[in-house]
Structure 1
Amino acid sequence: MTMPVTFVEVVEVHRITPRTARITFAAEELPDTVGTTPDQQLKLCFPRPGQREPRLPARQDDPMGWYRAYLALPEAERPLMRSFTLRGRRPGTRLVEIDFVLHGDTGPAAAWALRAAPGDRLGMVGPSALYAPKVPFAEAAAAADWVLLAGDETALPALATLVGALPEGVRAYAWIEVADRTERQDLESRAVLAVEWLYRDGAAPGALLAGAFRDRALPGGEPFVWLAGEAGAVRAVRRLLVERHGVPKAGIDFTGYWRHRLTQDDAPTAEDLADARERSAGY
């Protein structure tokens, strides 16, 4: 199984909230499987200063060969890489939509998105079925008594695709932390979905999400839980659900998308490594 590696070109930039840009890209190549399932993860490659477009690693037959090829590029030419979730694909086309959280002119992705215009080019690695969950989301949701999804604005692209994939009649709850009321987004779902928005209004990132379940009574039965967002907040929510509410670890799918005051280029902390071990063990 090869990992898709291709160039993508900006076709349209749309500010869907004051702090979120939805950018439509035309991909030079795109497998038919892209956009057919929710929560598809990919990586975008950003050009180095002075480059019009990034230099991409050569495609490899080995699924992880692309990463070895990436590391083999001279550091001065190696593209800056960040992880994203596919927000959608326009049916019958090679057009894909990816949401960018505009959190300032600091990181390479947000800085690029603030200035993105039609014709700009990036590289895209993935999505790949290699990283699909062993049990499809809709199947796991249908087997549970109810579904809980929780995250911050960085989790919204994935969360929106997940609630859109929920089968009709499934009872689902979503808790979403965002900067303020202007960052709300409409969520479409066939499920019986209740959404609670948590507005930071200047509070520290993750603080409201981490505290949302401390004294909250949850429905009875066994849920399927999906958590994503700031790593410390995800860790705190997961701990509360397990220790206070008795949710089995095996019923929680969790991912720390970002770390407060750290970037993807910084080394993993001891807690990051512990989370990775638990995820790989299937908890």
Structure 2
Amino acid sequence: MTDAPPPPYRWFDLHVVRTERVSPSLVRVTFGGDRLGDMVVGGRDQRFKLFLPQPGQDAPVLPDDLGMGWYAEWRTQDPAVRAVMRSYTVRELRYAPDELDVDFVQHGQDGDGPGHSGPASHWSRTARPGDRVAILGPVAEENGGVDFQPPAGTDWVLVTADESALPAAAGILAWLPAGTPAKVWIEVAHPDDVQDLPTAADADITWLIRGNTGRPTLDAIRAAELPEGTPYAWTAGESGTVRALRRHLVNDRGFDRRTITFTGYWRQGATEEDLLAELG
């Protein structure tokens, strides 16, 4: 009988090192911690679980069981006391010094604006050096937390994102092999949200500034001339928009469903607590 392989994720106690207003819609929080050097990421759209304290708490209240049963116990904890749990993308992980950058979208001010502010946006705006959080982060490159997986035989890639998925799109572009043909559309709320996205890929990046009506990403792709060859599409952002994009790519463009990865990072009018409740 062989021993089971170690889990690819581990709990980390972290603290805020600094914060930076990257753009009108994004606040970057840099975290540090004694064991953060053990964290390993697979690049691309690498995600992890972030646990924030409730207002008035010095540190997030976590389940007693931090093994395989942590999620079931977290769900049974008092929602007013248990840690606020969110899924986030690694913006950058550095070593010596060991630091983790995470970008938080600012959806208005505490309740107004598309997507509402929510506790994570508010926390990021008010975070100060030394504030404590916890994460469940990867300690192996192959960890199941990377969705961008182009199959063999892919000739070019299509990427769409809004500001909630901008860190993931940045990670994908940084990871793509040199010369990879890529068509990229990124939708943001403000012209000053546009940022440099380093890549060795042959990437055609289009920035779209969102107005008060319509779905500019969907409209842009409907009007776009796409390359020949076998595509792979990765689309993330507001769930209604990414579903509409997937339908367009399959029904109107003839994409194979198996070559499309689509992820709703948020849903108009719903909090993450609403989405978690729907999972039962």
Q: What do the CA deviations read for 1:33-52 (whole angstroms, capped 9, x no partner)?
A: 52352211112112122211
The answer on whether the counterparts of 1:4 and 1:59 sit within 8 Å (CA) in structure 2 is: no
| Separation in 2, partners of 1:166, 1:142 | 14
Q: What do the CA deviations read for 1:100-134 (whole angstroms, capped 9, x no partner)?
A: 11112230001111111111111212236442458
The answer on whether the counterparts of 2:151 and 2:259 sit within 8 Å (CA) in structure 1 is: no
Deviation at 1:61, TM superposition (A): 4.3
The answer on whether the counterparts of 1:47 and 1:79 sit within 8 Å (CA) in structure 2 is: yes
| Separation in 1, partners of 2:161, 2:266 | 11
Could you tell which deviates more after superposition, 91-100 or 236-245?
91-100
| Separation in 2, partners of 1:39, 1:191 | 16
Q: Paired residue for 1:118?
A: 129
The answer on whether the counterparts of 1:8 and 1:121 sit within 8 Å (CA) in structure 2 is: yes
Change beyond 3 A, Cα 1:46–1:234: same
**How well do the aligned residues superpose, as a CA RMSD in angstroms?**
2.3
The answer on whether the counterparts of 2:48 and 2:145 sit within 8 Å (CA) in structure 1 is: no
User: What letter is aligned with 2:58?
Assistant: R
The answer on whether the counterparts of 2:49 and 2:87 sit within 8 Å (CA) in structure 1 is: yes
Structure 2 length normalisation: TM-score? 0.86
- Correspondence for 1:99 among 96, 103, 128: 103
Query: Structure 2: any 5+ residue segments left out of the alignment?
Result: 1-5, 112-117
- Correspondence for 1:89 among 72, 80, 93: 93
Change beyond 3 A, Cα 1:142–1:22: farther
| Separation in 2, partners of 1:37, 1:59 | 29
Q: Paired residue for 1:155?
A: 165
SS in 2 for 1:213: helix
Q: Which has the bigger relative contact order, CA under 8 A and spacing at least 6?
A: 2
Could you tell which deviates more after superposition, 183-192 or 71-80?
71-80
| Matches for 1:65-80 after TM superposition, within 5 Å | 65-80=69-84
Change beyond 3 A, Cα 1:40–1:265: same
Q: Paired residue for 1:252?
A: 260
Q: Paired residue for 1:26?
A: 32
Aligned residues: 264
Q: Paired residue for 2:185?
A: 175
Change beyond 3 A, Cα 1:183–1:203: farther
Could you tell which deviates more after superposition, 115-124 or 159-168?
115-124
User: What letter is aligned with 2:161?
Assistant: G
Structure 1 length normalisation: TM-score? 0.85
Q: Paired residue for 2:273?
A: 265
Q: Paired residue for 1:276?
A: none
The answer on whether the counterparts of 2:25 and 2:163 sit within 8 Å (CA) in structure 1 is: no
| Separation in 1, partners of 2:276, 2:86 | 15
The answer on whether the counterparts of 1:198 and 1:209 sit within 8 Å (CA) in structure 2 is: yes
| Separation in 2, partners of 1:94, 1:50 | 28
Change beyond 3 A, Cα 1:5–1:33: closer
SS in 2 for 1:246: coil
Q: Paired residue for 2:115?
A: none
